[in-house]
Amino acid sequence: DTEVTQTPKHLVMGMTNKKSLKCEQHMGHRAMYWYKQKAKKPPELMFVYSYEKLSINESVPSRFSPECPNSSLLNLHLHALQPEDSALYLCASSQVLPGTGGPQYFGPGTRLTVT
Amino acid sequence: GENVEQHPSTLSVQEGDSAVIKCTYSDSASNYFPWYKQELGKGPQLIIDIRSNVGEKKDQRIAVTLNKTAKHFSLHITETQPEDSAVYFCAASDGYGGSQGNLIFGKGTKLSVKP
């Protein structure tokens, strides 16, 4: 099973709201990722967690706050977003393979609209 | 850092024809090359991948070839079907030697298969 689940599927929020995106995997993967994808563009890496520790933050604004409560769960907390933050937010997971890349499995994404 | 170029950006073929998408990468240390298929409104789905110690890999109607010397890799889809219509992304692991190699994506190819 290579399933990564994400909730909610769609989210509309105002610029003053606080909301959270959730991601879950049960493949025993110890690396989890948040990506942002704009229309007709490839996914852009935002955060990487490895063994529940934040290992990479690709200069993402502080209005996005990731959290990894355990090895199966990944959250993305959203606060004071801007309309340009509207996008598809993708979660992915992979095994941790020292010194080499490996397959990342993506969830279906959360379509976020900021009004 | 790694840079991945993908061509063409759009590709239209008749059902039953073959489709070829090409990618080049810049970092000779990259060692893992996946291909993703993304249908409208869905997350990217891993369809095939190849490691740098292999020159070719096949899975039914799809195949990937890798030329390490020239630093390019290609996706080949034979006997195309309308359900192959999607956006295809190539990627390369940047292989920087950390606990996992992050993926650098090409800009995508929109494949349309006409019945």
Q: Closest residue of A to B29, CA-based?
A: A100
Contacts of A15 by beta carbon, 8 Å cutoff, 6+ apart: A80, A81, A82, A83, A114, A115
DSSP state of A84: G
Query: In this complex, which of A48, A99, A111 lies closest to B102 when CB atoms are compared?
Result: A48
**What are the tokens at A56?**
């990479």
3-state SS, A26-78, equals CCCCCEEEEEEECCCCCCEEEEEEECCEEEEECCCCCCEEEEEEECCEEEEEE
Contact call for A43 and B44, based on CB within 8 A = yes
**Cα(A107)–Cα(A30) distance, rounded to whole angstroms?**
16
The reply to whether B31 touches chain A by the CB within 8 Å rule is: yes
Cβ-Cβ contacts under 8 Å, B32 against chain A: 100-102
Give the pLDDT confidence score for residue B37 in this predicted structure.
98
Q: Closest residue of A to B44, CA-based?
A: A106
Distance from CA of A88 to the nearest CA of B (A): 9
* Percent with pLDDT over 70 in chain B: 93
Which one of B57, B100, B102 makes the best mutation probe of the A interface by having the most chain A beta carbons within 10 Å? B100
Prior bond of A83 cis (ω within 30°): no
The reply to whether B43 touches chain A by the CB within 8 Å rule is: yes
Give the pLDDT confidence score for residue B58 in this predicted structure.
97
Contact call for B105 and A31, based on CB within 8 A = no
Return residues 92-111 of B near A (CB < 8 Å): 92-95, 97-103, 105-108
Contact call for B99 and A50, based on CB within 8 A = yes
Per DSSP, the residues of B29-89 read T--EEEEEEE-TTS--EEEEEEETT-SEEEETTEEEEEETTTTEEEEEE-S--GGG-EEEE
Prior bond of A8 cis (ω within 30°): yes
In 3D, which of A100, A108, A109 has the Cα closest to residue A31?
A: A100
In 3D, which of B77, B81, B88, B78 has the Cα closest to residue B113?
A: B81
**What are the tokens at A1?**
């099973």
Give the pLDDT confidence score for residue B100 in this predicted structure.
55
What is the pLDDT averaged over residues B43-56?
Answer: 94
What is the pLDDT averaged over residues B34-45?
Answer: 96
The reply to whether A7 touches chain B by the CB within 8 Å rule is: no
Give the pLDDT confidence score for residue B99 in this predicted structure.
45
**What are the tokens at A62?**
């502080």
Which of B17-26, B47-56, B93-102 is most confident?
B17-26
Maximum Cα–Cα distance across chain B: 46
What average pLDDT does chain B have?
A: 93
Which residue's structure tokens are 């290992």? A55
Cβ-Cβ contacts under 8 Å, A104 against chain B: 34, 46, 103
pLDDT tens for the 115 residues of chain A, in order? 669 999 999 999 999 999 999 999 999 998 999 999 999 999 999 999 988 999 878 889 999 999 999 999 999 999 999 999 999 999 999 987 766 778 999 999 999 999 9
In 3D, which of B30, B18, B42 has the Cα closest to residue B91?
A: B30
CA trace torsion B78, B83, B85, B86 (10° rounding): -110
Q: How far is CA B50 from CA A60, A76, A96, B105, B111, in A?
A: 30, 31, 17, 15, 21
Q: Are B108 and B9 in contact (CB under 8 A)?
A: yes
Contact call for B44 and A40, based on CB within 8 A = no
Q: Closest residue of A to B97, CA-based?
A: A99
